[in-house]
Chain A
Amino acid sequence: MKRAATVMALAMLVLPSVFAAPMGFKDSWMAMGDFSPNWREGLANYAVTARDAVGPSLLYMRSDDETTTRELAEVTYTRLLQRWNLPDAQANVWFIGGIGAVRGNDISGTRAMATPGVQVDYETTRIYVSALARFYRADGLNHDFASARAGFSFYEADYDEVQPWLIVEARRMRGLSADIEITPMLRLVQNRYFVELGVNNSQQLRANFMYIF
C-alpha cells in the first residue's frame, strides 16, 4: 500500500519526452541500409542523447541513364527538433545533415559536400506518412533530394508479432534523375527488425532495412 502510494505520488513527476525514426533510443546504435541499382546507401548512427545522433554514412548514386555516378562519404548528424506524442499517434520534425566528401566519374578529385535536410513524419498503428527534403551541395554540384512516403498496415499487431505494411515512396534527385522514382514496398516490422522490399517504376528491385543494437 505504501509502495502504491509512493508510485502514485511520483507519477505526478512525469517528465517530458524525446525521440524515434532516423535514430534509435539514447545510447543505442542504429544501422540502416537502402539498396537499389541507382541508390546504395549504408549508414549507422549512435544516439548520444535522446534527441541527437551522429554517425558515418556512405552513399552511391547513379543517374537514370547509368552514365553519371557519385560517391559520398560523410558524417551525419540527426536531431529531433520536435515530437508530439499523442495517445494513438506520433509526429516528428527532424534535422538530418552531413558533411563529407563527394567524387564522381565526371569530376576530378573529391569535393567537400554538405547535406542539410528536414524530415517530417506522422504515424499511427495503421497509417504512416513522411516527407524529406535534403540538399546535396558541393562546389559546382547540386543534387537536392526530395521524397514522400505514405502507407498503411494491414492490421494492428502485438509487440512480438510481425506487422506488414504497404508503403509507397516517390523520390527524386536533381541532376541525376529526371524521373520521379516510385516504389511500392512491403514493410515488415517485428520487435527490432524492420525491412522493406519493393520494385520501382523502372522495374528495379529495392531493399531497405533498419536495426537497432
Chain B
Amino acid sequence: MNKIHLILALLAASTTSFAAESVKATVNGMVCAFCAQGIEKRLSKMEATKAVFVDLKNKTVAVEAKPDKTLDPKAITAEINDAGYDVVKLEAVPLSVAEIKAQTKAAK
C-alpha cells in the first residue's frame, strides 16, 4: 500500500515539474504582423522553444519551453532585438502557449 502511495506521489511530482511554463515578453514597436513575423521565426528556431504566440493587440510575445528544456530570457531578448524590437518586460507564466492564446481570445 505504501509503495502505491509512493508511486502516486512521484507521479504527481512528475506532473508538476512538467507543467507548461512560458516566458511572456512585452515588446515595444511591434505594430504590424508583417514586421512581427521575424520575432516568431527567430524564437521558433531556438532549441528550447516548443511554441510561440504573437499578440499584436497587447504587444506581447509568449514562448513556451519544451518539457525538458529551459528558456533563456537573455537569449529571448536578443532574438527579439535582432528582429528589430525592444523588450520592456519579461515574466514567467505557468501556462502553455495554447492556454495563453485561449485566454487572449476569450478576453476579446
Contact = CB atoms under 8 A, between A and B. Distances in A.
Contacts of A11: 73, 77, 87, 89-91
B68 to A, nearest CB: 13
Contacts of B81: 15-18, 50
Place the interface of chain A in its size category: 35 or more
Main secondary structure of the interface of A (DSSP, over half): loop
Main secondary structure of the interface of B (DSSP, over half): mixed
Contacts of A192: 34, 37
A157 interface: yes
A138 to B, nearest CB: 33
A191 B33 contact: yes
A192 B35 CA distance: 8
A17 B33 contact: no
B82 A18 contact: yes
Given A10-B73, A25-B84, A193 B34 contact: yes
A69 interface: no
A190 B77 contact: no
B95 interface: no
Complex A-B, nearest 10 residue pairs according to Cβ-Cβ distance, in ascending order = A85-B29, A25-B38, A19-B84, A11-B90, A10-B73, A4-B92, A90-B29, A85-B28, A17-B86, A85-B86
Given A7-B91, A90-B35, A159-B54, 19 more contacts: A7-B23, A8-B91, A14-B77, A14-B86, A14-B87, A16-B81, A17-B86, A18-B81, A18-B84, A24-B38, A25-B42, A50-B82, A85-B86, A88-B59, A124-B31, A125-B32, A156-B57, A159-B55, A192-B37
